[in-house]
């Protein structure tokens, strides 16, 4: 491109080309005369380079001038008769015409070639300039995008920090609501228990024995506290479940009369039970509590009366539905739908309906744990619960319980294997790390007629076992420091094969409960329990065998 630019500069000046047009033909003539013997018969050969050189430096005008000058010089000095511009006919005239024609074509082609080269060079320069401008714009845009990206990153960082703060605030609000609700309800229950016990102590100090009413009050408060604990465990999906194969139609039919009494005369109950309903593996007692909770909520949503419909049917949740809902597995379910014609719920209430201690019933009319307990139980059972509601028209709660497809398994409602007696005899090894709880449980067992040996932990219990006589039952807490109740039972059965074991716990994360279900063959009595519950469970374990 540099040669083309230099040539273009020379051509623009004009005079170098004209000088070449005059000088080049003379040089061509001199060279032709010098090589006369070698170029005999070729009078025009040395003039072609001269013409091309003139056209290259001076353009088509210089090339035409060089062509004419070369034709005159060759006609005068080289073509017979020499020394005259007269051309022989026809060979001389034809040769001269051919020379001029070829030279003219050469000049024209060279001129077009040079013009094309000039345009190409100009295009190249323009491309370089455009590329330079483009690179400058790209660099500028890159700097702008870098600054914008940094700004966006800062905005994202600020947004993430703000979202983290909001999430933390929401967590603290939820924790505050939960702890506030627990404290409120437990304080009420403790007030009943402590107040009743204080009255009984005062009256006993006065020698009075009319304390039965206050004893009942204290027991009622304790039972309510125990029920609240179970509700909280259900909400947290941590309650131990004992699922069996359940026919939902049969269970609802058995509860229908209880539902009618709960609803009262103003609410009409209709049960629509599907034929050919699948069975499900579920804890029947917890399912009864869940349905009763829903019935009570529906009744409260219809203060002026209305209609409550309980329906069952087989259902299938597909992949699209499972992807749209959180914590849902696609598959076959037994559906229980509870529909009322009550006041309904707005979207903001539906969004919080499963929150613990959230209630719209007003002060003193509900704990706000009913739906959260149902939600926790259904989710722990690997099911799904959904609310559909429209203000002024009513609400439908749908419980999706996983279909049971296996063979066998215990069925709900089967009679116990043996009669349950309230008392018994024999030696029981009681293992409990909490001394106060151990004293109470030991006293209850002795009151039932059993002989009791106490141990504060698993290691102590194992060291005591060899020197004890026949042990009828190992009654152990599950969660203890050092050695869990499950580990204790396994090692104790190595010493005493066939030893009967009854576990007790207030909360058991992994020892004997996995995925929320009590392990097969494990007997569990959940704290707190009553005297009658202890009597029945111990008798049942002893009669069933290890």
Please name the residues in contact with 304: beta carbons below 8 A apart, sequence gap of 6 or more.
266
pLDDT of residue 374: 83
Question: Which of 129-138, 182-191, 450-459 is the least confident region?
Answer: 182-191
Most confident of 20-24, 212-216, 255-259: 255-259
- Give how far Cα 194 sits from Cα of 21, 184, 221, Å: 129, 15, 9
Where would I find the beta strands (DSSP E) of 284-422?
306-317, 331-340, 384-390, 394-402
pLDDT at 178: 53
Q: What percent of the chain has pLDDT over 90?
A: 5
Predicted TM-score (pTM) of this structure? 0.47
Distance of alpha carbon 326 from alpha carbon 271, whole angstroms: 30
Q: Which residues pair with 117 in a beta bridge?
A: none
420, pLDDT greater than 50: no
Residue 10 in this model has a pLDDT that exceeds 50: yes
Mean pLDDT, rounded, for 199-212? 77
Which range among 32-46, 132-146, 485-499 shows the weakest confidence by mean pLDDT?
Answer: 32-46
When pLDDT is cut at 50, 70 and 90, the band that residue 444 belongs to is confident
Joined tokens for residue 197: 């016990």
Comparison of pLDDT for 413 and 34, the residue scoring more: 34
pLDDT at 360: 62
Q: Give me the pLDDT at residue 516, please.
A: 47
- Residue 278: predicted pLDDT: 92
Q: Is the pLDDT of residue 344 over 80?
A: yes
- For residues 468 and 497, give the distance between their C-alpha atoms in angstroms, rounded to a whole number: 15
Q: Rounded to an integer, what distance in angstroms lies between the CA atom of residue 338 and that of residue 386?
A: 11
Higher pLDDT, 76 or 236: 76
Which residue has tokens 């933390």?
168
Q: How many CA atoms lie within 13 A of 290 on its CB side?
A: 33
CA 444 – CA 400 distance, rounded (Å): 41
Cβ pair 312, 249 in contact under 8 A: yes
Residue 249, pLDDT score: 92
Half-sphere exposure of 4 (CA within 13 A, CB side): 16
- Rounded CA separation 334/534 (Å): 34
Enumerate domains of the chain plus CATH numbers.
1-214 (no CATH), 244-402 (3.30.565.10), 427-544 (3.40.50.2300)
Per-residue pLDDT tens over the stretch 297-334: 888 888 888 899 999 989 888 888 888 887 788 888 99
Instruction: Categorize the per-residue pLDDT at 277 as very low, low, confident or very high, splitting at 50, 70 and 90.
Output: very high
Asked whether residue 413 carries a pLDDT value surpassing 50, the answer given is no
C-beta pairs of 1-6 under 8 Å, 24+ apart in sequence: 1/121, 1/124, 4/114, 4/117, 4/118, 4/120, 4/121, 5/121
Average pLDDT, the chain: 77
Residue 483 has what pLDDT? 85
- In this structure, of 5-9, 291-295, 397-401, the range with the lowest mean pLDDT score is 5-9
pLDDT of residue 15: 67
Q: What is the predicted pLDDT for the residue at 60?
A: 76
H/E stretch holding 474 reads strand 473-477
Q: Which residue has the higher pLDDT, 512 or 349?
A: 349
pLDDT by residue (tens digit) across 479-521? 888 888 888 888 888 888 888 888 887 655 544 454 444 455 6
Chain centroid to Cα 365, Å, comes to 37
**For residue 51, is pLDDT > 70?**
yes
Higher local confidence (pLDDT), 32 or 186: 32
Average the pLDDT over 472-478 and give the result: 88
Instruction: Answer yes or no: are the C-beta atoms of 302 and 342 closer than 8 Å.
Output: yes
Q: Tell me if 76 sits within 8 A of 33, measured CB to CB.
A: no
Of these ranges, 21-30, 458-467, 525-534, the one predicted with the greatest mean pLDDT is: 458-467
Going by pLDDT thresholds of 50, 70 and 90, the confidence category of residue 409 is very low
Distance CA 489, CA 475 (A): 9
Provide the pLDDT for residue 367. Answer: 54
Residue 185 has pLDDT above 50, yes or no: yes
Q: How confident is the model at residue 412 (pLDDT cuts 50, 70, 90)?
A: very low
pLDDT tens digit sequence for 353-381: 777 666 665 554 555 566 777 888 888 88
């Amino acid at each position: 491109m540099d040669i083309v630019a230099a040539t273009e500069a020379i051509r623009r000046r004009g005079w170098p080309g004209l000088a070449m047009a005059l000088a080049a033909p003379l040089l061509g003539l001199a060279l032709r005369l010098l090589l006369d013997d070698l170029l005999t018969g070729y009078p025009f050969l040395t003039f072609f380079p001269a013409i091309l050189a003139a056209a290259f430096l001076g353009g088509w005008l210089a090339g035409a001038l060089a062509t004419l000058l070369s034709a005159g010089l060759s006609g005068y000095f080289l073509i017979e008769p020499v020394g005259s511009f007269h051309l022989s006919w026809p060979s001389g005239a034809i040769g001269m015409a051919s020379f001029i024609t070829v030279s003219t074509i050469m000049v024209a082609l060279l001129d077009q070639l040079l013009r094309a080269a000039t345009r190409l060079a100009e295009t190249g320069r323009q491309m370089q300039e455009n590329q330079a401008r483009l690179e400058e714009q790209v660099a500028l845009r890159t700097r702008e995008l870098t600054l914008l990206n940094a700004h966006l990153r800062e905005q994202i960082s600020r947004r993430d920090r703000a979202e983290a703060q909001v999430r933390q605030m929401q967590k603290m609000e939820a924790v505050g609501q939960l702890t506030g609700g627990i404290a409120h309800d437990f304080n009420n229950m403790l007030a009943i228990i402590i107040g009743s016990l204080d009255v009984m102590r005062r009256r006993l100090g006065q020698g009075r024995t009319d304390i039965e009413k206050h004893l009942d009050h204290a027991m009622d408060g304790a039972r309510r506290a125990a029920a609240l604990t179970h509700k909280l465990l259900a909400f947290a999906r941590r309650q131990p479940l004992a699922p069996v194969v359940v026919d939902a139609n049969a269970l609802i039919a058995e509860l229908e009369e209880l539902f009618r009494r709960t609803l009262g005369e103003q609410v009409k109950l209709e049960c629509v039970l599907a034929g050919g309903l699948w069975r499900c593996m579920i804890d029947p007692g917890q399912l009864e509590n869940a349905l009763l909770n829903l019935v009570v909520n529906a009744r409260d949503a219809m203060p002026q009366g209305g209609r409550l419909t309980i329906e069952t049917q087989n259902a299938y949740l597909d992949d699209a539905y499972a992807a749209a809902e959180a914590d849902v597995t696609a598959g076959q379910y037994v559906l229980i739908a509870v529909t009322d014609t009550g006041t309904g719920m707005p979207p903001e209430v539906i969004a919080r309906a499963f929150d613990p201690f959230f209630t719209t019933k007003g002060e003193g009319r509900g704990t706000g744990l009913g739906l959260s307990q149902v939600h926790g139980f259904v989710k722990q059972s690997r099911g799904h619960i959904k609310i559909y509601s429209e203000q002024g028209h009513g609400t439908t709660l749908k419980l999706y319980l996983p279909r049971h497809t296996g063979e066998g398994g215990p069925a709900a409602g089967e009679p116990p294997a043996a009669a349950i007696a309230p008392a018994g005899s024999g030696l029981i090894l009681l293992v409990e790390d909490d001394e106060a709880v151990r004293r109470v449980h030991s006293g209850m067992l002795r009151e039932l007629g059993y002989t009791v040996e106490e141990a504060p932990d698993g290691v102590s219990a194992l060291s005591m076992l060899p020197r004890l006589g026949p042990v009828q039952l190992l009654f152990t807490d599950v969660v203890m420091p050092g050695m869990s109740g499950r580990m204790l039972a396994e090692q104790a059965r190595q010493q005493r094969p066939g030893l009967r074991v009854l576990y007790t716990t207030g909360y058991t994360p992994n020892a004997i409960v996995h995925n929320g279900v009590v392990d097969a063959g494990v007997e569990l009595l959940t704290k707190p329990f009553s005297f009658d519950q202890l009597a029945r469970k111990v008798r049942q374990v002893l009669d069933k065998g290890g």
